[in-house]
Chain A
Amino acid sequence: MELGARVRFDYALVASKLPEIFQALGITLYTWILGLAGACALGFLVAVARRYGPRPLDLALGAYVELFRGTPFLIQLFLLYFGGPYAGLSLDAIPAGLLGLSVYGAAYFSEIFRGGFEAVPRGHVEAGECVGLSRAQIIGRILLPEMTMLVLPASVNMAIILMKETAVLSVVTVPELTLTISAIGTEFYAFVECLFLLALFYWGLTEICGWLGRMGEARLARFRFAAA
């Protein structure tokens, strides 16, 4: 079959699908941003708990981090979405996807933050202790601001990885872009064209993200402390 004969995009038909596509785009962005926020927050908590918590907690969280970094996201998602109901946790596709992304991303973010904490010179923390800052103040006023610059590149990288992982959510029927576009491609028998457009879309989004990350780094560079 000739390629040209197959590529027959009926723009009226595609236009009729536009609301669906925009909705799917919304879900992709929504799961990404919320999942990213969840992963960031949870990862920060894990990093703090491992640094200041009791040793058994540190060991348990260490095992969590290793397990979630050592297994595929898809398996984690299946366990949550298909296995969850057997363990009394019945979630719809989107909440399951959000939870899965957060827990998966948090394992990586906790390591990023741990590295960030460790990179802040000990003297700064000791100085804070000497002037009588509480632990929360040391975290909020010394560790966090100083490490933001240090963890930014890795965090932007992780944000991009999570964005790409949202495509995997299509496998557990989250109606995001990959699932929607694939369905439209099947319907119009234009799978390759649709997928190619989808790939271009993700490509553009990752490039924009990377660019924003570099801009942010350049802006924050003036906060880089001398010891770094």
Chain B
Amino acid sequence: MTPIIFGLLVEAALHTVVISGVSIVIGFLIGMCVSAARLSSNRAFAIPARVFVSFFRGVPLLVQLLLIYNLLPVIGINVPSVVAAVVGLSLCTAAYQAENLRGGFASVPRGLLEAADMAGLTHFQQLVRIRVPIAFRLTLPSLVNEAILILKASSLVSVVGVIELTRMAQNLDTSLYEPLQLYSAAGLLYFIINRALALAGTAAERRWNWGRA
């Protein structure tokens, strides 16, 4: 494999990182809303949130991606395949992150909220300054885990034609006939990114070692 070919793979790996990163962030925001709905005592919110989580965790991501990719044009939304891919990945990770966050919100120590009540913080202030930061800190390990899962799962968006690491390796293979080298190199790149993510995760956990119950 020439350096130029490897360079192409590295460039495609950047696309993979961007696609996964955007999906993780959007998924986190959606997951936040879903977990709030899931914890709501109003069943009109709680039940749809449960169905959402159950559906997106119960259906293979590949099927979700194919469904969204084909559904969007039918309902009149014509977007590039990369957008459909990000929508699919975001919805899927949102379901998993909602479950993690639910656990995080449930483990915010009651004493802190009582103290906040005493200090006269409004409900909104409590949410923004206490609940969200602590739930975020508590679920940081599972968030890193989820990021690694999504990075690996993002290889599936190659199936709907998005050019990222897996698709690039496939495309190069059709002209070079070097599947062993190309897919090994692609696998190695995924592995390196995952390791880096895991290391960043442990570093972040050590740096923000507050908020533990």
Contact = CB atoms under 8 A, between A and B. Distances in A.
Interface of A: 1, 3, 6, 66-67, 70-76, 78-79, 82-83, 86-87, 160, 164-168, 170-171, 178, 182, 191-192, 195-196, 198-199, 202-203, 206-207
Interface in B121-162: 148, 152-156, 158-159
Interface in B166-209: 166, 169-170, 173, 179-180, 183-184, 186-187, 190-191, 194-195
A206 B62 contact: no
A199 B70 contact: no
A191 to B, nearest CB: 5
A164 B61 contact: yes
Contact of B155 (A3, A74, A160): A74
Interface stretch (B23-31, B52-60, B111-119): B52-60
B191 A67 contact: yes
A3 B179 CA distance: 42
A178 to B, nearest CB: 6
A75 B55 contact: no
A207 B53 CA distance: 12
B153 A78 contact: no
Given A75-B190, A82-B183, A182 B66 contact: yes
Given A74-B156, A168-B62, A202-B60, A79 B180 contact: yes
B15 to A, nearest CB: 14
Q: Tell me if A's interface is mostly helix, strand, loop or mixed.
A: helix
17 contacts: A3-B75, A72-B152, A72-B155, A74-B155, A74-B156, A74-B158, A75-B187, A75-B190, A76-B187, A87-B180, A168-B60, A178-B60, A195-B66, A199-B55, A199-B63, A203-B55, A206-B59
A24 to B, nearest CB: 13
Contacts of B106: none
A87 B181 CA distance: 11
* Size class of the B contact interface (CB-based, 8 Å): 35 or more
Nearest to A185: B70
B195 A83 contact: no
A76 B186 CA distance: 10
A203 B52 CA distance: 11
A178 B59 CA distance: 11
A195 B159 CA distance: 15
Contacts of B63: 167, 178, 195, 198-199, 202
A72 B57 CA distance: 18
A198 B187 CA distance: 30
Greatest chain B CB density within 10 A among A1, A71, A73, A198 is at: A71
